[in-house]
Structure formats: C-alpha cells, structure tokens
C-alpha cells in the first residue's frame, strides 16, 4: 500500500475514539514506511492551546498539523509556527474546504478579497509549509497557486467521494490529492488506491502524480 500513497492524514474520525496513544501502531508503521503522518485537527484556538495540541501530536509520531488561519497570527498561528519549527515539523493552513457551505465562510468577502485569498496570502507571509484547497474548486486552486511560493504545497481534499476531480486539481496547481473515504470505505482499499493512481497516470501528463490519503 505504501507505494500508492505519499502520506497519511488522520482526522477526528480516528483521533477522538483512539487518541494519539491508540494510534501509536499507525505512527510506527508510517515512520517505518517513510510516510509523513498528518494530523488534520484544523487547530483553531489561541496559541498556547494549539501549541499544547501540537506538542502532544508531534511527541507521538505525527509529522505535521493542519490549522485554521481564522485565529490570526499574533498569539495564534505565530506560536504554533514557532513550535513546528522548533520540533522540525510541518504546518499546513486551511484555505478552502470541500463542503457546500465553504463559500459561505471561506468565500465571504472582506474588502475586495474573499477570505481564501487573504488566507493564501497569509500562508505565504507566515511561512507555512502548505495550504489545503478543495479539489472541487480548480479556479480557486489556480488563484491560490499564483499567490503561494513555489516551495509551498497545495493539498486538495474532496477527490472521489465528494466529487472532486483529481486530474483537474493537479492541472490547476495542486501538489497532493487527499483521498480518504473512497479508499477506506472500499471493499478492497488497496485496489481502490491503485485504481486512483492508474487513472491519474496518463501518457504525456505534465504534472507528476502525487497521492495523499
């Protein structure tokens, strides 16, 4: 299975029932396979609270966290970024989500820019490692890609189960596709992952296909 993915993303579906200690076997397996383990907690609190959460996650095998830029920088993302740098871990900011209501929040305009544009600019300014942008919104991916630095990655959720088109997302500028339920809920997860990769590996495709589950 490790040949078909480049990282593993865990959210509340596993973190709540099992806790970080209950995921130790998963963390060890990812480490042995060389797969980064990402905590999709969408950290959204004051800096000290986010730092405590990140410290616990990182000390138990996680390699990166996803946080919500809504909390702002001072005494918010700033503290979390410092902790990530101190421990050599990754920080990804939530820029645009995949559900129907995303436009009501992340698409809401403040001045001339919608929140997702402001968040993309902050992802660059604050020096985060990447941004989460829905695979269902190729035009927004392009817009965010034009704002971020070349070394900042775009992770795109919503592929498969939620209707996102992986090819269009990659063509628009995504670096990694997040494919969760379409693989986990499949009768044969391995075959499902292989099918996704096979469909994306077309002759002459300009971008290298990357996968994140």
For 178-187, the CB contacts below 8 A with 24+ separation are 178/9, 178/132, 178/135, 178/212, 178/213, 179/211, 179/212, 179/213, 180/9, 180/213, 183/213, 184/213, 185/161
DSSP SS3 for 68: coil
Distance of CA 89 to the CA centre of its chain: 14
CA distances (Å), origin 128, targets 16, 59, 98, 184 = 26, 20, 21, 29
Average pLDDT of span 85-103: 94
Compute the radius of gyration of the chain from its Cα atoms.
17
What pLDDT, on a 0 to 100 scale, did the predictor assign at position 207? 43
Q: CATH classification of 2-200 is 3.40.50.300, yes or no?
A: no
> What mean pLDDT value characterizes the chain?
89
pLDDT classification of 119: cutoffs 50, 70, 90: very high
Predicted local distance difference test score (pLDDT) of residue 202:
60
Domain borders along the chain are 2-200
21-70 confidence digits (pLDDT tens): 999 999 999 999 999 999 999 999 999 999 999 999 999 999 999 999 99
Give the distance from CA 78 to its chain's centroid. 19
What are 126-152's pLDDT values in tens digits? Answer: 999 999 999 999 999 999 999 999 999
Which pLDDT belongs to residue 210?
A: 42
Rounded Cα distance between 202 and 121, Å, is 33
pLDDT at residue 206, as a whole number: 44
| Segment 157-187, tens digit of pLDDT | 988 767 688 899 999 999 999 887 778 888 8
**Mean pLDDT calculated for residue range 109-115:** 90
Indicate if the pLDDT at residue 8 is higher than 90: yes
In this predicted structure, the answer to whether residue 208 has a pLDDT above a threshold of 90 is no
DSSP secondary structure code for residue 164 in this structure: B
Q: Active site residue: 9, 42, 168, 187, which one? A: 42
Verify whether residue 42 is a known catalytic residue: yes
- pLDDT above 70 as % of the chain: 92
Q: Is the pLDDT of residue 195 over 60?
A: yes
The pLDDT of residue 174 is 95
Instruction: State the alpha helices, DSSP H only, in 64-172.
Output: 78-87, 102-105, 115-125, 138-147, 166-172
> What pLDDT is stored for residue 89 in this prediction?
98
């Amino acid at each position: 299975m490790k040949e078909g993915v480049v990282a593993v993303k865990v959210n509340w579906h596993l973190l709540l029932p099992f806790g970080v200690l209950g995921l130790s076997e998963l963390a060890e397996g990812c480490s042995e396979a060389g797969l980064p383990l990402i905590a999709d907690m969408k950290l959204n609190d004051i800096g000290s609270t986010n730092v405590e959460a990140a410290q616990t996650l990182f000390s138990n095998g996680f390699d990166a966290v996803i946080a919500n830029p809504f909390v702002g920088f001072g005494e918010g993302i700033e503290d979390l970024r410092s902790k990530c740098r101190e421990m050599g871990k990754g920080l990804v900011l939530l820029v645009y989500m995949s559900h129907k209501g995303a436009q009501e929040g992340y698409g809401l305009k403040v001045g001339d820019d919608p929140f997702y544009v402001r968040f993309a600019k902050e992802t660059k300014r604050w020096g985060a490692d990447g941004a989460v942008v829905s695979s269902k919104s190729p035009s927004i991916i392009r817009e965010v890609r034009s704002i971020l630095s070349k070394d900042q990655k775009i992770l795109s959720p919503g592929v498969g189960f939620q209707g996102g088109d992986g090819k269009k997302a990659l063509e628009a500028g995504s670096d990694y596709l997040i494919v969760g339920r379409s693989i986990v809920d499949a009768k044969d997860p391995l075959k499902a992952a292989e099918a996704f990769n096979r469909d994306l590996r077309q002759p002459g495709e300009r971008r290298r296909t990357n996968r994140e589950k």
